[in-house]
Structure 1
């Protein structure tokens, strides 16, 4: 079979859903325009196949997560039909509706960030001022928790999206407070290194197994339900945080502190 025929066969297989098909390994050591075309096809097939599989998994996970709040809403509606006071059921219905809305909005945002891979920019803003607001809001939301912020007095970011970065930082700080014991502090530290700013968010919880340190950034991933003091949430916070930070030309990684877990953000100053 000629290289061109192999490419045609591979294209047909790919169009029928065989995302693992590749051409270049079957062309031996030859090096010409057809092998360049085969390399391009293989790269396209790998990227497109991974994206399709990723989106299918995201839809499947979303469908699974929606079942629980929808089931609870159906039970509440059934109770209302049986004559139970609607005033007792309204808070439950409001809570489930809010959960469904947040789940759908977060999933759509995540899908957009993963598919489009945008580079977000915005007007210059003071990172420290933003963090102070987020920390104060977190103290209000978690009144029994301790949180400290160590940082310079001000630090301007030039080409970042304040809204996007704010969402990422809120998710990371809330996640740290959620897993850290009430009598232990969550520490947010900001330092400037040459042309980058480093932001760390450290809790004093149980951490995660070392072999799962990257998995926690996957959508809908949960390490262990028993680790979670509060089972609210569906495992999108860290996935969204990493995508938001990458959209601001930064990086987000995690490491165990023994005890605790530290999220490390590195973002260019300009």
Structure 2
């Protein structure tokens, strides 16, 4: 934002002020010198004129003063002095060598003629035979009086002092003339000062107007507006500067557009990156953080920017910036909560200039939660498969070794040993079949053989089969009751019949296995607006709350010993979940320990009219 400049802070005022100061100094120097020289010249001329008058009077008086027998000397001198008065002469006196006044030009003061002069200047002039000058102010008129006392010396070579002439003149007119000239000079100075101010303003405006336009253009450039151009008034230095600013504006606009395009590309890349990116300054303070990093670290832009990267990554107690950069391997950060697992892997690199100066750090965060989960599941899978295969193989090996050792000859033992071997073989075959099914689902090789099926009839068919199995003593030793609550409306759905039957079988088998003697299994099929919900509830031992989130994991067993003794592979629910999710449905369970468990299956349902089939 352009700051408003007051007049007294502007260049206009400064240029005018400098011009006035220079003019005042010049006028002061010139005026002082001129007035002084004028004053000296006028006073010198005035005094020289008076000296000439006194000299003329001296020449006139010498013949009279040499004639000692002239009885009318006083009258002649008085008449001569009377004619001499005027032209600024206040009084002229002639004094003889004995200090007696023998004539005066003052007609009102003729009584002093014949009296001795008490004038000290006269005495000094007669004594020293030299002219005496002095200047003083009249007590009455306050005018300046210039006084000249000149001895009258005989011009015949005898150097005899014949007397003295005392001349008093009014020099005030000279000073008045000097004051008038000084006043005229001051008026001329004031007029010249006014003209100088106008000229200075014109010159300053001629200079500051281009500067103001250049300033305005640079302010617009700083605000991002590069469209303006500075007007070029001349081809001098200011004109060249204006041209340079116009060229700079064009270049800065091009550079800004290029930088802005790069910034938008960078922001787009950072925004759409699946990895978190954090950039810091050389002190490790965060200056850039993208949305993915904010989401990973569960923080906001305001809270993150300015914070130490070690603090935001919760490593301030384990690492320093130097140690962090020396560590060549990527670091793992565990931000998991009881509700949400989150494991991040971070790599660090330096931001260096060509000189080698380190100006910051870049950290790239990868979310490896799923990788860690997959790796953990892989390890668990390998461990479980190894364990599940080793148990029947060990059992089979023991029985086969017994048979080889001669037990095959015992008709009471051999059939039992062979039956156990067959059961363990069937168990391994079932496990391998389940593993192959899961492998196909994971690899998306298993496709659904979809067909429109009446889900009511299909569910009833599965339950009828289990009713038959319950009634057969060969299948189950305990007795159960299956209760049904199935909607009367016939619901047709597009499903894979074999996979859906497998899901129902897995859940019903678990319900039958874990229900007590005489237990009731409640089966329900209901329709909502756009879903079909199937539930199967048993009255078994229930599932602990801590185990409930994991029952659909592969090989996971709540009671491992009991499940294994019942012949389970630990893959049934995992296969059921995969099958339901391929139908875009959901499967989950609710359980209360000691009371039983309910499995829910939700399948999307799009009703259709019979006309569609016609």
**1:136 maps onto 2:464 in alignment:** yes
TM-score relative to the length of structure 2: 0.37
Counterpart residue number, 1:93? 421
Aligned with 1:103: secondary structure?
helix
Is 1:69 equivalent to 2:404 in the alignment? Answer: no
Unaligned stretches of 5+ residues in structure 2: 1-277, 280-324, 333-342, 351-361, 409-413, 472-478, 607-614
C-alpha contact (below 8 Å) 1:51/1:115 kept by paired residues = no
What SS is found at the alignment partner of 1:210? Answer: coil
- Superposed displacement of residue 90, structure 1: 2.4
Local SS of the residue matching 1:238 = helix
Task: Note the C-alpha offset of 1:63.
Answer: 0.7
Greater RCO between the two (CA within 8 Å, min separation 6)?
Answer: 1
Q: Does 1:155 align with 2:483?
A: no
How far apart are 1:250 and its partner, in Å? Answer: 0.7
- In structure 2, C-alpha distance between the alignment counterparts of 1:253 and 1:238, rounded to whole Å: 10
Matched, 1:79 2:414: no
Q: Using a 3 Å threshold, how does the CA distance of structure 1 residues 226 and 186 change in structure 2: closer, same or farther?
A: farther
Please tell me whether the aligned partners of residues 167 and 241 of structure 1 are also in contact (alpha carbons under 8 angstroms).
yes
Answer with 1 or 2: which has the greater Rg.
2
Q: Give yes or no for contact 1:10–1:22 (8 Å, CA) kept in 2.
A: no
Query: TM-score normalized by structure 1?
Result: 0.78
Q: 1:24 to 1:134 in 2, by over 3 A?
A: farther
SS in 2 for 1:97: helix
Q: Is the 8 A contact 1:127 1:157 kept in 2?
A: yes
Q: Which residue of 2 aligns with 1:259?
A: 595
> Cα RMSD (Å) of the superposition?
3.3
> Given the alignment, which residue of 209, 215, 218 partners 2:553?
218
Moved more, 228-237 or 53-62: 228-237
The superposition leaves residues 158-199 of structure 1 with CA deviations (integer Å, 9 ceiling, x where unpaired) of 2x2222121111101111111111212101100000110000
Are 2:480 and 1:145 aligned? yes
1: CA distance, partners of 2:377 / 2:384:
11
Structure 1 residue ranges without an equivalent (≥5): 14-19, 28-33
Please state which structure has a larger fraction of its residues in strand: 2
Correspondence for 2:573: 238
Partner of 1:30: none
Inter-partner Cα distance in structure 2 for 1:174 and 1:229: 14
Q: Distance in 2 between matches of 1:179 and 1:229?
A: 13
Q: Equivalent residue of 2:551, what SS? A: helix
Structure 1 distance, partners of 2:562, 2:420, is 25
Point out 4+ residue stretches in structure 1 off by more than 6 angstroms.
24-27
Q: In the comparison of the two structures, how many residue pairs are matched?
A: 247
Say if 1:142 and 1:177, in contact at 8 Å, map to a contact too: no
What is the alpha-carbon distance in structure 2 between the residues aligned to residue 229 and residue 66 of structure 1?
12
Matched, 1:55 2:378: yes
Preserved CA contact (<8 Å) 2:427 2:567: no
In 1, Cα distance between equivalents of 2:563 and 2:369 = 36
- 8 Å CA contact 1:198–1:264 kept in 2: the answer is yes
Within 5 Å, which residues of 2 pair with 1:101-112?
A: 101-112=429-440
Distance 2:600 2:458 in 1: 17
What's the counterpart of residue 22 of structure 1? Answer: 345
Match runs of 1:2-41 below 5 Å:
22-23=345-346
After superposition, give the CA deviation of every residue in 1:124-172 in whole Å (9 maximum; x if it has no partner): 11112211221122233333221122212432112x2222121111101
2: distance between equivalents of 1:190 and 1:25?
56
* Partners of 1:10 and 1:21 within 8 A in 2: no
Could you tell me whether the CA contact under 8 Å between 1:245 and 1:251 is conserved in 2? yes
In the TM superposition, what whole-angstrom CA distance separates every residue of 1:98-120 from its partner, at most 9, and x where no partner exists? Answer: 00000111123223334549774
The alpha-carbon distance between structure 1 residues 229 and 52, as it changes in their structure 2 partners (threshold 3 A), is: closer
Measured after TM superposition, the shift of residue 51 of structure 1 is 2.7
1:207 counterpart = 2:542: yes
Partners of 1:204 and 1:117 in 2: CA distance: 37
Distance 2:513 2:441 in 1: 25
Are the structure 2 counterparts of residues 119 and 90 from structure 1 closer, same or farther at C-alpha, using a change threshold of 3 Å?
A: closer
Counterpart contact for 1:191–1:198, Cα < 8 Å: yes
Mapped to 1, the partners of 2:398 and 2:563 lie a distance apart of: 26
Change (3 A) 1:227 1:202: farther
**Structure 2 counterpart of 1:186, from 512, 515, 521:** 521
Deviation (angstroms), 1:46: 4.1
